[in-house]
Amino acid sequence: MTDQLTLANARLVMPDDVVTGMLKISDGRIEAIDTGASVPPGAVDCGGDLVIPGLVELHTDNLERHLSPRPGVDWPHDAAILAHDAELAACGITTVFDALRVGALRGRDSHIERAYARPLCSEIMSMRAAGHLKIGHHIHLRAEICSDTLIDELEAFGPEDRVGLLSLMDHTPGQRQFADVAQYRRYMTGKHGMTEPEFEAFSARLVDLKAEVGAAHEAAAVATARRLGAALASHDDTTADHVSRSAAHGARIAEFPTTEIAARACHDEGILVMMGAPNIVLGGSHSGNIAASELAAAGLLDILSSDYVPAALLRAAATLARQSGNLPAAISTVTDAPARAVGLADRGRLAPGLRADLVRLREVGDIFRPVSVWSAGQRAA
């Protein structure tokens, strides 16, 4: 049987306009778009609610929160993946690039993170193949340049793993996000409970390791992105020199540039700027970096990521829409722009022939509340 659905009397958020109309869906695709407020027999009357493309999430730490709900707890992975998938669907996210860290440190230090990405990727792909997941899952490898195991971990991934994004992460003390070592000290002592001597020894170890392996690891990560056909992203660019290096590697996306100088240099190089939705919602960066709203006002913000709060994605888009008065452009930062950045041409817009990844939204005060969510035409939330 053919799966068919008609959403009528909706305000459709098109790429450049908002129109009252009807979406006809067949076999997981948008079959046709008509204008007008009529409601044919059998159609869902949306009552003037907004209908937008499903959200595309490129950078989220949400799965990690489900895997380790308390420090030291390793929650059953199948349950964690299902909970993560359902939470994203409820927030209107229909495509996610699950962020997995590659590159760990060897040793017995309690602050040292272990390698986990390869087996977890296999678990996600297995659950996807079995039809257990509500939304579309791809993999985002976060390559930690300052690490011991990066090259070995990268070699374990192949085309079957749906790696669509690889980002170059450099968390060396004194660099990028942690250019302010005092801020890094507060982060590590607060999150990991390090004593001052432990912090000093750990920082020195990272600095030495970066000097030893940094160049080789960066080259290996760039080569892996090319081998897997994944989009390459930089992370926490701070200076124009950082951006020049990213451009030379072929980066398409800049995750969370920390200064307007870096964001402007990204645009000069044709690199799309991604900022965290929580930065928009909270009115600034919790790390003391550039406010995403400042970049938006300057025309330097292309993509939003929920980062660590899935529900922030829609709320931030609503905030941008209020600030700019341009709802289609705000919605594009969480739909079309991220989809294009990673080469997904079959979603992110309302257009005939594209995937029926859709969200029906109701405006409640200053927020958009998802009423219904469809992934490839199937109800997901």
User: What pLDDT sits at residue 214?
Assistant: 86
DSSP assignment of 309-372: -TTHHHHHHHHHHHHHS-HHHHHHTTTHHHHHHTT-TTSSS--TTSB--EEEEEEETTEEEEEE
Whole-model pTM: value is 0.92
More confident residue, 247 or 209: 247
Lowest mean pLDDT among 29-33, 36-40, 284-288: 284-288
Q: How many CA atoms lie within 13 A of 149 on its CB side?
A: 17
How far is C-alpha 87 from the chain's CA centre? Answer: 14
User: What pLDDT sits at residue 146?
Assistant: 87
Lowest mean pLDDT among 62-66, 138-142, 206-210, 362-366: 206-210
pLDDT tier, 106 (very low <50, low <70, confident <90, very high otherwise): confident
In degrees rounded to 5, what are phi and psi of residue 303? -135, 140
Q: Report the amino acid identity of residue 211.
A: A
Question: Is residue 174 scored above 90 in pLDDT?
Answer: no
Residue 20 lies in a domain: no
Cα 375 from Cα 95, distance rounded (Å)? 8
Residue-wise pLDDT for 318-367, tens only, equals 999 999 999 999 999 999 999 999 999 999 999 999 999 999 999 998 88
Region of 36 (left: φ > 0; alpha: ψ -120 to 50; beta: rest) is left
| Residue keyed to tokens 């929920």 | 306
Between the CA of residue 105 and those of 113, 146, 360, what are the distances in Å?
6, 8, 44
pLDDT tier, 184 (very low <50, low <70, confident <90, very high otherwise): low
Please answer whether residues 314 and 68 qualify as being in contact, where contact means their C-beta atoms are separated by less than 8 angstroms. Answer: no
Q: Where are the alpha helices (DSSP H) in 76-180?
A: 77-90, 117-129, 150-155
Total domains present in the chain: 1
Closest CA relative to residue 379, chosen from 94, 138, 128, 8: 94
Partners of 102 in the β-ladder: 143
Residue 263 lies in a domain: yes
Residue-wise pLDDT for 291-322, tens only, equals 999 999 999 999 999 999 999 999 999 999 99
Residue-wise pLDDT for 113-132, tens only, equals 688 999 999 999 999 999 99
Please answer whether residues 167 and 194 qualify as being in contact, where contact means their C-beta atoms are separated by less than 8 angstroms. Answer: no
pLDDT tier, 182 (very low <50, low <70, confident <90, very high otherwise): low
Expressed as residue numbers, the domain containing 118 is 55-345
Residue 282 lies in a domain: yes
Mean pLDDT of 197-214: 77
| CATH code of the domain containing 165 | 3.20.20.140
Residue 241 lies in a domain: yes
Residue 78 lies in a domain: yes
Cα 113 from Cα 116, distance rounded (Å)? 9
Residue 202 lies in a domain: yes
Residue 143 lies in a domain: yes
Task: Characterize the bridge pairing of strands 50-53 and 55-60.
Answer: unpaired
Please answer whether residues 18 and 328 qualify as being in contact, where contact means their C-beta atoms are separated by less than 8 angstroms. Answer: yes
Please answer whether residues 55 and 314 qualify as being in contact, where contact means their C-beta atoms are separated by less than 8 angstroms. Answer: yes
Task: Give me the helix-helix angle, 196-228 and 181-192, nearest 10°.
Answer: 100
Residue 32 lies in a domain: no
Mean pLDDT of 143-154: 94
Please answer whether residues 89 and 62 qualify as being in contact, where contact means their C-beta atoms are separated by less than 8 angstroms. Answer: no
pLDDT tier, 191 (very low <50, low <70, confident <90, very high otherwise): low
| Residue keyed to tokens 């170059």 | 168
Closest CA relative to residue 324, chosen from 290, 301, 343: 301
Task: Characterize the bridge pairing of strands 303-305 and 18-26.
Answer: unpaired
